[in-house]
Amino acid sequence: MDNMPKLHPSTCRKWGISCLFYVKIYVMNNREKIVVTGMGAVTPVGIGTSEYWKGLTSGRCGIDRISAFDAGDLAVQIAGEVRGFRAEDHMPGKLIHETDAFTQYAFAAAQEALEQAAGSSGLPAAPDRCGIVMGTAMSGIDTVAATQEILTNAVHKNVGPRFVPRILSNIAAAQIAIAKGITGPSLTVSTACASGGDAIAQCAMQLLAGEADAMLAVGADSTLCPLVIYSLANARALSRENDQPSQACRPFDRSARGFVMGEGGGALVLETESHAKERGAVILAELAGWANNNDAFHVTAPDESGSRAAVCMARALERAGMDPAEIGYINAHGTGAPKGDAAEAKAVRTVFGRGPAISSTKAATGHMMGGGGITEAIACILAIRTGLLPPTLNLTDPAADLDFIAGACREASIEAAMTNAFGFGGQNSTLIFRAYRTE
């Protein structure tokens, strides 16, 4: 900060600002760029980033009747399952037996992202300068439910020694770190369905704080078990249209009746621009802005005014130093839950007016919870890079006056895209990605 102009405290007081505020503005205007150098995805519409993108842009729907267990007695019998996933293609056999599905999805996505970022060298930075932040909403809930059912019905009350390490929220990050030799910062965030977005933001903050040169942001969840379905169905949060799975999730449509559960994982490698350029990395996009806040309203219901979600979006724009008109596409949280969709639509109108093109990819994937925040960020990056904006499936009668992309992809050359991720507890997360341009 040698070039920073010197201001006397009395001058700051005269201008009605504090010295700390002045320093904050200086740092924000002169901070190093955070860039993306790797991506990975495991989703209901495709395994691997290219297949995921192909699924989204071709209009594929990954929502169908549940096949992982007999859901015939449940009120909700549909979900976005990851089909065709072979854990042995992504991790050692011993590790498969020690991990829950959410860890396996996280591991596979992380491996793809690291390979894109670093190739055969393994890591994009020295082990102690490389870190990881994991985002998950419910971690090993399906293992908890299955183990309790076995324990309740078993004559011999025996629970395996790997039960606890399988279900811990941080275990996915730990298993990835152990396998890849990542010895830098290791954190896990659990902010409901905002977890994946917040994991990316936390990675950026670690990089700006100088704690690492490269960070791996990972998000994953696998919550498809009767215990969770019973609870969400009784809360009337889920669509019950079991006879038409591919049409059951209808974000922003007047006929929407609830969201559809999904599962999967996503990963991004983030680096400081200087580090990425020094090692000759291919830079995919810039993470330009991020923000997090809370509705402070209700445990499960959104603030229907959308006021705090609007503030979250505005703060992400402020951090990016961008005007609303510079955003060419919004990948909305849009789950198909009428109240939540209406609140988000109001928030978008507050910040953008009728706004940029907007879609929700959850109609294709289902609600992937922790994995959604990152895979939807990947959709934004690929929209910028390819000029294809993915559609909202099943949207025929919009409930809001916004520029929705419905039915099929839209071709558009855009420089920046925003993604929202909102969760129970009033959690709001917003990210902005921008096409990478050298100065």
Catalytic residue IDs = 193, 333, 367
By 3-state DSSP, what share of the chain in percent is helix, strand and coil, each rounded to 5? Answer: 40, 20, 40
Instruction: Name the residue with tokens 């809001």.
Output: 400
What's the Cα-to-Cα distance from 386 to each of 80, 313, 360, rounded to whole Å? Answer: 25, 24, 18
Count of beta carbons in the 10 Å neighbourhood of residue 205: 13
Calpha distance 239→260 (Å, rounded): 6
Calpha distance 33→207 (Å, rounded): 10
Pairing assessment for the beta strands 416-423 and 78-80 based on DSSP bridges: unpaired
- What are the phi and psi torsion angles at 259 (to 5°)? -90, 170
Q: Are the beta carbons of 77 and 86 closer than 8 angstroms?
A: no
Determine the distance from the C-alpha atom of residue 55 to the mean position of all C-alpha atoms in its chain, rounded to a whole number.
18
Count of beta carbons in the 10 Å neighbourhood of residue 8: 9
Calpha distance 318→330 (Å, rounded): 16
What would you measure as the largest C-alpha separation in the chain, in angstroms?
Answer: 77
**What does 226-271 look like in DSSP terms, one character per residue?**
HHHHHHHHHTT-B---TT-GGGS--TTBTT---B-BB-EEEEEEEE
Question: In the 8-state DSSP scheme, what is residue 322?
Answer: -
